[in-house]
Amino acid sequence: MLDEAAFRHAADNAIDDLFRALTRAADSHDFDADLNNGALTIEFDDPPAKFVVSPNAPVRQIWVSAHSRSFKLDWNGGEFAMPGSGESLRSLMSSHISEQLGEEVAL
């Protein structure tokens, strides 16, 4: 398990990287992304929805709230991913944003 400083560094990098990808994708798709105090929000107007990506330092995970569900991603040595499936943070978000918009969104 990562110590707190290493976790914060890895989580900040992962969320910053995702934010940059979301910002590029938002130019072509109908959603807004905002990064504030380490938490990333993705908001949709039609239909209205809000997804949240945030670090949870005590358990060393990144938590995602999307489609009224919660996802907890662990550090696997190279990226944050879903336990069991191995789905990456970026892939998870791409999938849920695509579902929300009804169109393919690649991040």
At residue 25's C-alpha, the angle toward residues 24 and 28, to 5°, is 110
Confidence (pLDDT) at 96 = 97
The structure's pTM equals 0.94
As given in the structure block, the two tokens for residue 89 are 């943070």
Sheet architecture: strand order including 69-75:
32-36, 39-45, 48-56, 61-66, 69-75, 80-81
Q: Quick check: 77 pLDDT over 90?
A: no
Q: What is the pLDDT of residues 1-32, one digit of tens each?
A: 789 999 999 999 999 999 999 999 999 999 99
Domains and CATH numbers, the chain: 4-101 (3.30.920.10)
